[in-house]
Amino acid sequence: MVSKLILVAAAIFTVVCGLGGEMPFGAVARLGHGYLVAGFPFSGYLWVVTSLAVEQWDVSARELLSVSPLPKMPRFARFASNKGILGLSFEDGTIIVFKLPQMEKIAAFKTNMWLTALALSPDGALVAVGSETGEVTVFDLVQGEAVLSFSALTQEVTVLVFSPDGSALACGSRSAESLVLYTLDDSTRHKKFPWNKWGVRQAAFSPDGSRVAVEAGDGRVRIWDVREQRLLQSLGIGPLIELEFLDPGTLITVDSRGVVSTWESESDMLRASFSLGYGPGKAEIYPPNVLVQHNPSGPLVIWDLLTKKPAAVLGEHRYKDRFSALAFSPDGKRLAAATVEGGVFLWACDDWKELFVQDAHLGAIDAIAFSPKGDRVLTAGNDGKVCIWKLSPDGMEKALEIMAHQEPISDADFSHDGKYFLTASVDETVRVWDAITGELVKTFWKPVKNPALQPLIRDAIYAARF
């Protein structure tokens, strides 16, 4: 009934990565324009960092002016708007700094660290990086070398912000309850801003550097007098996706629901609020009146904070989000790719034309597979659901949906005759199902040497095949 089943208890990462710069030898196509990382207004244009390139957009004309390919996928992007300096860090520990609008490469640094945070000084003279070990390194762009390195935290650095005058660096971690402010001319001198339950999520200085706002994991935002280390206000307004001072007395926040609020920083008085459309996603505030909002798959929405209305919407249907799984059809004529936002893309392999896009799951899709005849596609989500789709020239029609696991599904596959499919999960099981009725046929537990220890074993199964 069921073909030979091979269980593989090892991590298999099936991620389609965008390729920046020239395609490597042997590559035949680049599918899509990558996913969005960040957007920065400068010199009358919007500069957009994607996983593939830096794009320049004319906001008023809604027109893409230029695309500058990147050598690899950026992990973090930061911008010093006063000087037009763009800093990017990459997975391999490389930092590259560009001067806009020419996209002139002015500095590059290589570290041997896994970088967890990136910051640029407001004058664009310094770039700082934080690591998973709590180390912070500061590079001078003029000297072209590291000028300071110190142990800032005992946990990984996930929050890194320069003071407005560039003389100090605020360091925080999702695993630590204090934001620590270090003076760069003497890193042994520091100030702590505590009581951030469940860690520090983000921080922002007022334009004059007199105050710092710190968001904690419990959703509270504490506003401090920097010089006196005195707590001025504690606001229960989170969780947030962005906070920024417009002036020392005004704090603006964007919460996880997409509500933009303006607060008196010395009281809990709410001055004004409005809601963003297009889903909250990410938001970056650029005083005095610009907010750039986007999801990884776009579009980019530029909001005027004075009118509380979108000034422009750019890049609709251009970006593809982050791919999380892929499969070729048995005849090799089609490629299906799934995304972390629950979408499925199908391409024709002869000309790499995009055939259609389907919203398949509410969350990430972790596995995708074609049936042996190529007429059905199996998708398995992070939500534990499995769907089987019938393919037609017009798109995908859902033929079956079941809740296969209570934990995320890590892999899925059709049997060789197409009568069954399997699902592997982080709940330590592989389950075999009837591909027509969706009935459970058999459950396999991850094998252990001593069966009596089975209830004690907690190790996910990441891949399985018929």
**Domain with 223 in it: what CATH number?**
2.130.10.10
Is 202 among the domain residues? yes
- Regarding whether 157 and 305 lie in a shared domain, the answer is yes
Q: Rounded to an integer, what is the distance from CA 40 to the centroid of its chain? A: 17
Q: Which residues pair with 254 in a beta bridge?
A: 242, 260
Say which amino acid occupies 318. R
266 and 326 in a single domain? The answer is no
Domain membership of residue 20 (yes or no) is no
Look up tokens 């750039």; give the residue. Answer: 292
Q: Residue 378: inside a domain, yes or no?
A: yes
Q: Are residues 280 and 337 in the same domain?
A: no
Residues 226 and 349 in one domain: no
**Does residue 22 lie in a domain region?**
no
* 194, part of any domain: yes
Q: What is the pTM of this model?
A: 0.81
**Final residue of a domain: which of 314, 343, 359?**
314
| Peptide linkage before 280 cis (omega within 30 of 0) | no
Predicted pLDDT of residue 32: 77
**Cα(120)–Cα(266) distance, integer angstroms:** 28
Domain stop point among 280, 314, 348: 314
Do residues 334 and 204 share a domain? no
Residues 292 and 331 in one domain: no
How far is 270 from 278, CA to CA, in rounded Å? Answer: 24
Q: Are residues 299 and 345 in the same domain?
A: no
User: Does a structural domain hold residue 19?
Assistant: no
- CA nearest 102: which of 36, 35, 54, 41? 54
3-state secondary structure at position 451: helix
Both 147 and 219 in one domain: the answer is yes
Cis status of the peptide bond prior to 393, with omega within 30 of 0: no
Residues 260 and 330 in one domain: no
In this structure, the answer to whether residues 394 and 304 fall within a common structural domain is: no
User: Could you give the 3-state DSSP secondary structure of residue 236?
Assistant: strand
Q: Which domain holds residue 197?
A: 36-314
Q: Cα–Cα distance between 374 and 149 in angstroms, integer? A: 56
User: What confidence score (pLDDT) does residue 278 get?
Assistant: 67
- Of 290, 314, 338, which marks where a domain is finished? 314
Q: Count of CB atoms within 10 A of residue 228's CB? A: 10
The torsion region of residue 43 among left (phi > 0), alpha (psi -120 to 50) and beta comes to: left
Q: What is the DSSP string of 348-395?
A: ETTT--EEEEEE--SS-EEEEEE-TTSSEEEEEETTSEEEEEEEETTE
| 18 part of a folded domain | no
Q: For each successive 10 residues of the chain (466 residues), what is the average pLDDT?
A: 36 35 64 89 95 94 94 94 94 95 95 95 96 96 94 96 97 96 92 95 97 96 96 92 93 94 86 82 92 91 94 90 91 94 92 91 93 96 94 93 93 95 90 96 75 54 78
Task: Say yes or no: 305 and 326 in one domain.
Answer: no
Q: What is the number of domains present in the chain?
A: 2
Q: Does residue 453 sit in helix, strand or coil?
A: helix
Question: In sequence order, what are the beta bridge partners of 78?
Answer: 87
Neighbouring residues of 38: CB distance < 8 A, sequence distance ≥ 6:
48, 49, 77, 79, 282, 284
Whose CA is closest to 315, among 23, 101, 32? 32
Both 345 and 303 in one domain: the answer is: no
Answer whether residue 298 is part of any domain: yes
- Return d(Cα 59, Cα 315) in angstroms, integer: 11
Beta partners for residue 260, in sequence order: 254, 274
